[in-house]
Structure 1
């Protein structure tokens, strides 16, 4: 079988960290090869080495059996390696045609723009993928799913031998995922190899031919999809058997947060519910149902037109996030990369950013010993990898960056914790850790609101669940009295019980 890419003994070090250690991997021509592993396993680093973003300290990379060494991403592109990162690296203010053709023209060293040729290149790429997208429109007007198609079309015009897709379905709706898989199948038939990097094991078993596992920077093995079960794959990823816990439902009659008739035009209407002390309240519904808009209103980040919110009997000022924080409410956003992190700063700085004033001594200086103690406590509790407080947050994997944001808000010691998609992008082992953490926090008396589109997550940890549809609460489920099918049914009907 023809190997389009082969990696031998790859090692990549950062100051104090070995990100990749003796990694060996081969990708066959025209195959869909999945790469899996927990957050911090080395997947992102391996992608960036293959893409020419990082240079390995040791080891060899072969493309079409030729030993190559990349000093720049453009060299990897010329060699036939194209990467579609999670952020897609596209230009929303440029046209579809410009986004597709620009890298090919840069690679060719051309300085003058021939708009007719740009459009021709783009139209041919779009035709190859058999999608219907107008190439003259601005990219910013497209859905996330169509932008994904444009990123793939760009790889096609660059004569990609290997297309690396990094968490390609993270922001896609179900129908967009189906469309993406059809495109991947077309690429496979054109003998273009695809390295599919994802946490979603159901998708991996649907689309991949072979699956390679990394753990703690080491290569564990490569397996034919049909020769391995999901449970076996998980055990290889985490080095242990993961137990999926469905936590017993708690009954609490001590109201902590009361929301009365909250409304905002074009967002939500007549939202009323109670969150009890030590309770986990799930909030779910289809995309666009208004879930995030409601919790942002409670956090002072989406001022409602009508309604009131009370915390421990005291009316809340919903005019700002500062007022919400002062009252004891914290909010872990869905988009942690843009809204939750202080990029360029250390892990320690990110964890303590909400409590910086509490760390100051009487002279106004930071008590570094107290800061270190708090940071290490949360690194241990959330199993953040690598456990280096002074490492730049930019160097952590996506899942560990998410853990850092959660730690930041827990360090704040909130009365109410709102978490929006708490395990999105987090690996299978870390999910169970986050679920246990949320349950432990509830046991300590914190009121928790979990907004999630993952119904198994809601079923596992929520004591009660609000289902939203078109900006309204369509149903409230109590305790164990719910199934995935019943939740979905209430998400598409309007009767409120």
Structure 2
């Protein structure tokens, strides 16, 4: 019998008093697509770091091609064909797409003179393999989150890995990009390359993987062929509980004044003649393919597209949103798509992140009132159920779900009337996602908050919104009642736009 490509036997790893992994065993066969699932904090990241040589296990053994490997380092792991695509992309934002893709090969060649023709050829080949179109001359920092993710994936595939570890690779991708990625994954599988696919998205696990391992609290709680699982079973294994889908219906007064009215909103080259209404207590979904104008719409409403045309009214009164400060003063809050690069101050504490947008409300004569600020931060930690014993901890020590709660909580301290959520649960595990959804529904239902929810996650939109607007190439092309549609039906509508 052929030995697995990589086998982990009875691994254990502790960080002080925290047992990150407890007796974990896992085997990945050659050319196998194996899914690793678990909530944030379950031990997935530690397991990935051990396979890639970043961390050493305290006990247990690692076998590659049937041979025990001791003291595995990142260099050793790469030499043995292990490549990892991390959630933070690990790209150079100030370099172009082509430079990011070609850099490692240029360094390996040892050449002292860069051939820009060769750099472009490498980039074109990498994107061709992935089946996507990326501008090789575009600086990576100017790309949307989805574009950065695609560059990271393309770069990893250039190294001809034997095992490709993909940590939440579809976090910011739309259905079309996910389908393209899956074609690439199946293509590299046909060449005998194994893939360890880490995802929070149930449908992706069931669609792409052949085998599934679920870990919870550092232990394997379920493992086997993917045919033995369904969405409910994966959820139970990951969380230890049943999580049922909950729809949301606005219970507002008939004939109430719209909280937000947008008429003929246009941004040259980005948005064209967008009109809609948002009622108090309503959760309005925004969907569309990559490049549809979803994020541009959010930025225009948050005052970051000052040259826009059209009219915007809040509570029936015209609002001039020429800057983000004007939008904040009008009661608008914006939670961006990428919490790590756009939403959080990573070097700061939880408290400082929570208080970042409300210093004016908590200050007197320009001096922050420390007692009032501490009380406000502590109250929001409780209100948002942020899992931390103290707000003085670095925000980087929180899980993705708790970090997202911090970003949302920061704006809630400003008592906004309109909350714009761009990808509210991107990269968040199923348990934390359900908690964030409940909080959003409670805010709309109990406080009359108007919510714009921009998302690629179709179940998220169907389960949490009253209505869903569909954008395509900067225009509003469809509107559906969430109660009268389904994920499949909405997916077909979006598919017809491709």
| Superposition TM-score, scaled by structure 2 size | 0.83
Map 1:277-426 → 2, pairs under 5 A: 277-360=280-363, 364-367=367-370, 370-385=372-387, 389-426=391-428
Match of 2:468 among 447, 458, 465: 465
- Residue equivalent to 2:179: 178
8 Å Cα contact 1:351-1:407 kept in structure 2: yes
Is 2:246 aligned against 1:270? no
Q: What secondary structure is seen at the aligned counterpart in 2 of 1:203?
A: helix
1:479 positional shift:
6.7
433 and 213 in structure 1: CA distance in 2 versus 1, 3 angstrom threshold = same
146 and 353 in structure 1: CA distance in 2 versus 1, 3 angstrom threshold = closer
Superposed CA offset, 1:223-265 (max 9, x none): 2212222211110001101111112343433222222332221
C-alpha distance in structure 2 between counterparts of 1:330 and 1:344, whole Å = 22
8 Å Cα contact 1:145-1:176 kept in structure 2: no
Q: What secondary structure is seen at the aligned counterpart in 2 of 1:181?
A: helix
- Larger displacement relative to structure 2 (409-418 or 383-392): 383-392
8 Å Cα contact 1:12-1:19 kept in structure 2: yes
1:341 positional shift:
0.9
Is 2:155 aligned against 1:151? yes
8 Å Cα contact 1:20-1:42 kept in structure 2: yes
- Residue equivalent to 1:163: 164
1:55 positional shift:
4.6
323 and 144 in structure 1: CA distance in 2 versus 1, 3 angstrom threshold = closer
C-alpha distance in structure 2 between counterparts of 1:48 and 1:324, whole Å = 42
- Residue equivalent to 2:68: 66
- Residue equivalent to 1:42: 43
8 Å Cα contact 1:281-1:448 kept in structure 2: yes
- Larger displacement relative to structure 2 (242-251 or 54-63): 54-63
8 Å Cα contact 2:35-2:198 kept in structure 1: yes
1:185 positional shift:
2.8
Structure 1: runs of 5+ lacking an equivalent: none
- Residue equivalent to 2:256: 254
Q: What secondary structure is seen at the aligned counterpart in 2 of 1:389?
A: coil
Is 2:202 aligned against 1:198? no
| Superposition TM-score, scaled by structure 1 size | 0.83
8 Å Cα contact 2:126-2:158 kept in structure 1: no
Aligned length: 486
340 and 77 in structure 1: CA distance in 2 versus 1, 3 angstrom threshold = same
8 Å Cα contact 1:469-1:493 kept in structure 2: no
259 and 433 in structure 1: CA distance in 2 versus 1, 3 angstrom threshold = same
